[in-house]
Chain A
């Protein structure tokens, strides 16, 4: 058994009175793509946003249980800012910050005190290359990030996350607004990124989970129904509900 990168113990989360994540126990291994599928309101996104404490911003959010990152409790042993630079996040809607392509990628490192121009330029180039965007934008780094196409914007958002050299990257339905070609590019990037990073992918697109994730978890009504290697989930699910969802009988 490999040591877990992220380990959740008896994790519960509420928004007001809604119990969105119910008593979750699961381990995420280093350098895997961990797919999470499930119908709307199944707690997938809430779970994901618990992992980098983005839920803290919501006044009605409550949680108990533990989330450990490399053995450290993310809600007790570190600040939210330190956690978020280790656990990056890519959102469903690609939304570059209102600044140039270069500044979008350099934003994170600059904020954490990086001033050296040469190093910044190196980081920006490396991040854009890792996100498969460098070739398309290398001649127009000064252009506003908002002027890129949707797929490029999403890869820019991936690049700005990579610029911080995180350990884990959370993808929250990263391709829901993208066309098939852009989706393929983002997926290709993910498969290469898993060598360096641990990836957790929440997706509404079952086929996407089948294509890229090593293990897949099925969430329903805030509960983890089934977790197994992706082939098993998609070919021989143990739970009737998993089967029904994958075959499109509900959700």
Chain B
């Protein structure tokens, strides 16, 4: 009798732990199912080809057009710009922190990077709006400073903590004998870092960059505030753009529940979800790649 009671107890506890464990997976699946259900409803009335390859996003014209190419291009240009700025700076910072910096400076820098990660994106967006945007406008003599470039610069700040932290872990994990071996052969510190450390840490650094991209492409608030929000296919960094995330965030409030526009925003969400999923998947591939 006592034994069965104990076994029931075990069973219940194990069941609860199991439930907690799969909750996160369950949520992801539910979110995805919900996204799919709402998003795919669009294609009952609107052709998928025009959605994916259409070059105009005019949700409230008559008839409405939901071509996502300008939005994807907007996200792409802002992301590429941000990564081009963030990657060299972040990798150099990670190298400095793990290879060169004295202990005190190292701690100080690490704290600083965590602080940078803790700034809410709306604050960064606001700061960008009052400082960076006027600067870009007067520096390039263009009619507005709300451009892809401004968005890229601000997003680079947001991607940097992610990239630095993960790249630094990867650099720290390079076995000491590699470094000593190279130095014992007469390499200078820079030669050692450039030819050995960066190469040996490259899978981790690529993963760091991928996660940085994931962070940037999903960012909403700051880009909405400083990229100008015009849904046209951009031809340069000095034009206003509108990203997928900003589109969803700014239009969701105005749509009628169950309308074509409403479904189109969900379909856009699916596209975004798939993109970030692929990026995270690639990052994972590199992070868990078997050591050479």
Contact = CB atoms under 8 A, between A and B. Distances in A.
Contacts of A140: none
The secondary-structure label for the interface of chain B is helix
A229 interface: no
B177 to A, nearest CB: 4
B184 A91 contact: yes
A93 to B, nearest CB: 6
A108 B175 CA distance: 19
Interface stretch (A5-13, A28-36, A82-90, A114-122): A82-90
B188 A81 contact: yes
A48 to B, nearest CB: 11
Contacts of B116: none
B186 A81 contact: yes
- Output the residue of B103, B185, B200 with the most chain A CB within 10 A: B185
Contact of A107 (B175, B180, B185, B292): B185
A98 B180 CA distance: 13
B177 A164 contact: no
B173 interface: no
A7 to B, nearest CB: 22
- Output the residue of A107, A157, A161 with the most chain B CB within 10 A: A107
A57 B199 contact: no
A85 B292 CA distance: 28
B185 A164 contact: yes
Contacts of B183: 54, 57, 84
B53 interface: no
A107 B186 contact: no
Nearest to B188: A81
Interface in B189-246: 191, 195-196, 199-200
Nearest to B102: A59
Given A97-B196, A98-B200, A98-B292, A111 B177 contact: no
Contact of A157 (B181, B187, B191, B292): B181
Nearest to B202: A98
B252 to A, nearest CB: 49
Interface in B151-201: 175, 177-178, 180-188, 191, 195-196, 199-200
A95 B184 contact: no
Contacts of A52: 184
A144 interface: yes
A146 B180 CA distance: 16
Contacts of A112: 186
A86 to B, nearest CB: 8
A44 B178 CA distance: 22
Interface string A97-131: 11100000001100110000000000000000000
A101 to B, nearest CB: 14
B181 A97 contact: yes
A160 B188 CA distance: 17
A84 B175 CA distance: 20
B177 A91 contact: yes
B161 to A, nearest CB: 27
Contacts of B292: 98, 144, 146
Contacts of A89: 184
B185 A54 contact: no
B184 A84 contact: yes
Contacts of A144: 292
Nearest to A96: B181
- Output the residue of B103, B178, B184, B199 with the most chain A CB within 10 A: B184
8 contacts: A54-B180, A81-B186, A84-B183, A84-B184, A89-B184, A91-B180, A107-B185, A111-B187
Given A84-B186, A91-B181, A96-B181, 4 more contacts: A59-B103, A82-B186, A98-B199, A111-B191
